[in-house]
Chain A
Amino acid sequence: MNDDQAEIVQRMTAGCDDAFNAVVAQYSRDLTRLAYWLLGDRDEALDVAQEAFLKLVRRIREGRFAKENGSLKAFLLTCARNECLDRLRRRKTHRGAERGAIRPRGEWQSQRTPALETEENRLQERLETALRELPEEQRVVFILYELNNESYSNIASSLGLSEDQVRMRLHRARRTLRQRLEPYWSR
């Protein structure tokens, strides 16, 4: 834990509002990005992010955070990804295996406004569309690997897969996305 983080944790332990604010400002986008692209649901992603922040508060209050020398970002991202994977498992239990694409609900829209419709943004939107259309099993592995920097073994143990299965899903996702986006990149 670096000095800045140690100071934030110290201020959070004292219950300072500005420390809560600083943590939310600094990490909320990483959390909602990960949660949204794993779950494909804006409201759920926001719930997951909030729950991760509350877990952090509980951990700090119990005096366990500083002792474990964790990084704030790593702790929050781990909470969020675990919660997302639980939710994905519960979905499968309740509704049967959902192999489809992300179906955005609620008010989720791209952050862009028409005034910002640049070529770069159009390329980004193509990636978003391609990701939404990937089978969930490939998308989850791809996001955990590329967005959350996780190892094969970590992903495999979390999802109950073999490392070979993780590897294959990642390569297939990467190939699909590359094939869909490359024509636009080379223009």
Chain B
Amino acid sequence: MNAELPEKRETELSERYNRGEREGANREEQNLFAAYDRLREETRSLPAPEIDRPRVVDAMRREFRAAYSRPRLHTLWAMAPRVRAAAAILVIGAALLLAFLLGPVPAAMEIRFEDANATVAAPSWIWRLRAQFGMPVRVPSDGTATFTLPDDSVVIGQPRTVIAFSPGERRHVFLASGEVTVYATPNPHAPLTVSTPLGDARVIGTVFHVRVLASNQ
């Protein structure tokens, strides 16, 4: 019996017991540790209320089924934060791409390549995308590229020509270097402009060539 053990002393021993030092140095300590052992053992076998097992299992089954009938977005949102972040980036990326695709571009511009033997080949999708969105493209050295603008004007780029089309203005061509032949559909209200580093050429409707020579030519 350790009932009269001073509280401070018992606190020290209780701390030792928690640290796993359970070998009592004397009878008093041994009795105390034995009492703690018994207390622990009885605590771990305290009675527990009996659960209504069929009811809980039924609730689990319903929860499981409800999970599969919920909207997919809800399920996605309930996933781990990383998955949520990835999903958000994907949605934002898709929205930006859509905005880009539906932006002010000459949507009807047709492009085709012809090599030296007049064999027609489709340009790669990246090349086509660059041209559609106003980025400069270089005509391959072994053929020509024919661009049909939305108003049916035709621009033929010679080999190695670097050219760009303004996505906002339908009749504006930028020629950085090389040579183009332009068949401009007549339109007195909107001249077709070919801008070069040396100046602009504007026509209302005709066929003309523009050549930009490299500085060493």
Contacts and interface: CB of A to CB of B under 8 A. Distances in A.
Interface stretch (B75-83, B110-118, B176-184, B193-201): B75-83
B49 interface: yes
A179 B46 contact: no
B217 to A, nearest CB: 64
A174 B11 CA distance: 9
B60 A182 contact: no
B56 A178 contact: no
Nearest to A29: B48
Interface stretch (B31-39, B121-129, B152-160, B204-212): B31-39
Interface stretch (A47-55, A87-95, A154-162): A47-55
A54 B61 CA distance: 9
B1 A123 contact: no
Nearest to A124: B42
B42 A57 contact: no
Interface residues of A, number: 54
Given A28-B51, A62-B78, A127 B42 contact: yes
Contact of B11 (A25, A45, A147, A171): A171
Interface stretch (B2-10, B21-29, B88-96, B162-170): B2-10
Given A167-B15, A178-B39, A28 B3 contact: no
A123 B42 contact: yes
B35 A28 contact: no
A33 interface: yes
Contacts of A110: 47
B14 A175 contact: yes
6 closest Cβ pairs, A-B complex = A33-B48, A28-B51, A61-B67, A32-B48, A29-B48, A171-B14
Given A17-B61, A28-B56, A175 B49 contact: no
A40 to B, nearest CB: 11
A64 interface: yes
A7 interface: no
A68 to B, nearest CB: 10
A117 B7 CA distance: 34
Contacts of B53: 21, 24-25, 28
